[in-house]
Structure 1
């Protein structure tokens, strides 16, 4: 569907006024695709790729809508001076395993502008064009992960998912958690790659904030692409099978040798997926009890990992960093707010501001005891209980950011009781998380 959406005419006009050309990349045009990939790679300061590697990288964009901005007077006019890619992804929203909720969102990635063409309004034209395209395609929400946290609020985005890096001192982290009933076994990376989609898809059902993976990204994780194969020789793969022999989780990790003490390796976990609590316990215990290891590191994990409650010394499990990760932009308030389950019955009236004009208005959210919701626009003259910008509504949506915190920070206007009511309704039983960049 998204491949057939036309270029946004407003952005096309703005880019033309800057003396540049706004164009979609034809997925069947290898030369155009390679040029676009080279611009994308350059925009993120990575090493240039040759034609063969660029063609391989294009596999990641098979299902994406690739857009470029071109300067036909440049020394290499075939290479765009700005890029963006987008696609429809499935986003998990709060609920329970029995009430799995997902919604379609407009994922935005590959946002680059060449340093030779900055301060010409290109990024604004690209981002606003993506939002208008999403609205035209009927998508109620846009999503992205960001390399610079100061850019996207002006477009109505806000952080909805925080993630953490964790370090575990295995000398102090004696296992006191549950004994897993299944078993952990080493498997070949290629064999596990064939099972990864199904295992991760089942695990994702209970984690708000997670999105679809795609084929080449999985191949990269498993070290099965030309650009990752060499550096992934030391990558190990283990799978957790339950007592019935069904795969319920897996982990990918590397061992980093200490320069002066062979008994003090560090385990770097690059992927950790658990469908069940049993698989979570079994995989973590395996990692923490590896011989000749003194530290385990894992990134892009939940800010509230159960692991710290599974060892004798909770101080052995340290959060070494916490940062914003998934940013959301609400484009249709009723469609977005009714795409998730809520923790309690109640009713809240919101006054929503939107400088770009996509989703401003007054809305009443009503939830029932089952967690289902209705959300309607309202012309009632009475003051709403909560007044906020569209960005803050996106921050609240997945239940990982507190309304009371936003109120204290001056980011929304509400009484303490109204902020507490939002937190009661929006609370997610599982903290939102996103385990990849896109």
Structure 2
């Protein structure tokens, strides 16, 4: 290759115009790194209410000192932590929001494009579009889980008096922003850096270290509140009528709690139900302990990973139906509901959303292992029968052993929890 050919090559962009780190190309019409590209796309789709806590110039690159290798010396305060300034900088430098493909829209070539391309190139484009959409779903669920954990580990302490009932909570604004307002809870037993997405066999002996920890939070209330806020974040949920939102939430909240606590526990290598402050709830000597840990052992047995956990939880929110009907439902696209009294329109909405998330899970399993992907997919879906049996046992125990002896005043006080535990599904 001669010198003229070398000089004719286009030089690859070196510096991200937003954060100053190493760029890897043009994204949404500007020179940017992958981090800023993903950040802009996520912020545009979520449209959160952002506000700078400093001087609204956190991303003024003139005030940032760089090292010799063109990377930021300090990534902390407030650089790269202020989402408001970062998003505004993306807009100011000209990032094009119209270039963002909405994840919920189908990506289909136009008739004119179809006439100009060969069958092979059309298949490549379709596969690439599916990959982009599936990765986008995983990114959104990962980001949502991060916000959920921040809220769960925050210093905000909900009280029973703060919540009048499930219906009012479903109509209220999202409360995840309270995590930023209150900040993380200081001096908790379990620190954030102990979390891992690679599951190992828990050490039973560690259970004793969690006993007799006095928690400032009422975890039964806190976890129910978080599960409710989680369900409210889904776009499809707001397409349902208010009555169907209430019915679906009562059905799904309990299993979302069980999944959340179980996955958090095994990430910290416990086989009991552990909370972020290190408290064990319930403890081994409590009657309903065996019910609470039912969902932990299947997750350990199948060595569940973060993406699989996120997709399973999303599928369950979409009302999977009876566990033994799940595979039939997925393969035939039939509408089978385990939730009584859902309207036909809502069942169709849930069926479409469930099919979309199930396809993402199947694609993820195939990408991990083409040979064992289908078997892994079936193994993960097989866990659903445990979730259904667990929530039925928990609700039966509450209705038969706890509710009859509750004083009326206490029942009214914990009405939000009573609404969840007194729900009866078609099992």
Q: What TM-score range do you get, normalising by the shorter chain?
A: under 0.3
Bigger strand share? 1
Which structure has more relative contact order (CA 8 Å, sep 6+)? It is 1
Q: TM-score, normalised by structure 1?
A: 0.24
Bigger helix share? 2
Q: TM-score, normalised by structure 2?
A: 0.24
